[in-house]
Amino acid sequence: MSKKILDNDLKKLIKKLYGSQLNCSTRLGVTPQTVHNWHDKNPRGMLKFAPEIVAQCNITWTQLAGEVLMREETLNIK
């Protein structure tokens, strides 16, 4: 069985997959601000890069989508 990656924190997921938000932005070809915005404002924006993230990292589409949806739900509660 695969390791549980989902921990209800998108920042932790990005750090686990890429080491840092800066490295994530570099590998995906976006600005560091874009990666920051995924966590703080628009988690669904990350799904545009799902094919690249799945190909580069040890994560499934389902795991990534679940993390994004959980973060979106957290932002809606505030």
4-24 pLDDT, tens digit each: 444 458 999 999 999 999 999
Core vs surface per residue 14-50: b (16+ CB within 10 A) or e: beebbeebeebbebbebeeebbeebbeeebeebeebe
pLDDT for 76: 85
- Spatial CB neighbours of 30, under 8 Å, sequence gap ≥ 6: 49
pLDDT band at 40 (very low <50, low <70, confident <90, very high): very high
Do 63 and 70 touch, CB atoms closer than 8 A? no
Q: Which two tokens stand for residue 39?
A: 């966590």
- Spatial CB neighbours of 11, under 8 Å, sequence gap ≥ 6: 21, 39
